[in-house]
Chains A and B, each alone.
Chain A
Amino acid sequence: KAGVTQTPRYLIKTRGQQVTLSCSPISGHRSVSWYQQTPGQGLQFLFEYFSETQRNKGNFPGRFSGRQFSNSRSEMNVSTLELGDSALYLCASSLGGGPLSYEQYFGPGTRLTVT
């Protein structure tokens, strides 16, 4: 079974721009969660989507948004990029219960650099 895939793997953007990251979950998984990993803050939960609906949300500003499509693929968008948004963005999928109570399978991540 193919694992979680994320595209692109690396991205360089300029402050003020916007960016869209993509995540394809494991086949059959309906929950997709997004995480940000920075050296200073560690791994932080952004949000979780299930059946095209945002079900859980972490403590991030509204510049961070996402969506999920009917095939469970998910995109995350960050608008008006700031230097502090430079991070590794990970997505994870799980069967259905979401990140709180089910094992998650992580993708390789997208490394975003904002200059």
Chain B
Amino acid sequence: ILNVEQSPQSLHVQEGDSTNFTCSFPSSNFYALHWYRWETAKSPEALFVMTLNGDEKKKGRISATLNTKEGYSYLYIKGSQPEDSATYLCARGHNNNDMRFGAGTRLTVKP
């Protein structure tokens, strides 16, 4: 069984704070790592797909890094805004064509 774990489970920050979350996963037979943002009452939105060890991706104030050898990825949000409030999910693709999601980190940004 492949376990994808995310920490923290929830996070409350003030507007303007920078924050980061962790996604941990088994490193064997790694294929890809996805990050999604899921706002309440909306559909999950893809943020990043990373496949190579050392990958770093950035989209606006959000960036992510990937370490496939040790099995973790970090998601960073710089200068959090209230509209960043959402659940951030990571998912690990396995090379037997399965995909496992973490339970998510619920971020609340207070104005």
Residues of A participating in the B interface, judged by any CB pair closer than 8 Å? 4, 42-45, 48, 55-59, 90, 92, 99-109
Contacts and interface: CB of A to CB of B under 8 A. Distances in A.
Interface stretch (B12-20, B62-70, B75-83, B95-103): B95-103
Interface in B46-68: 46, 49, 51
B23 interface: no
Interface of B: 31-32, 34, 42-46, 49, 51, 89, 91, 93, 97-104
Contacts of A106: 43-45
Contacts of A105: 46
A45 B104 CA distance: 15
A106 B38 CA distance: 10
Nearest to A94: B46
Given A42-B101, A56-B99, A100 B31 contact: yes
B44 to A, nearest CB: 5
Nearest to A100: B93
Given A55-B97, A99-B99, A101-B31, A42 B104 contact: yes
B98 A59 contact: yes
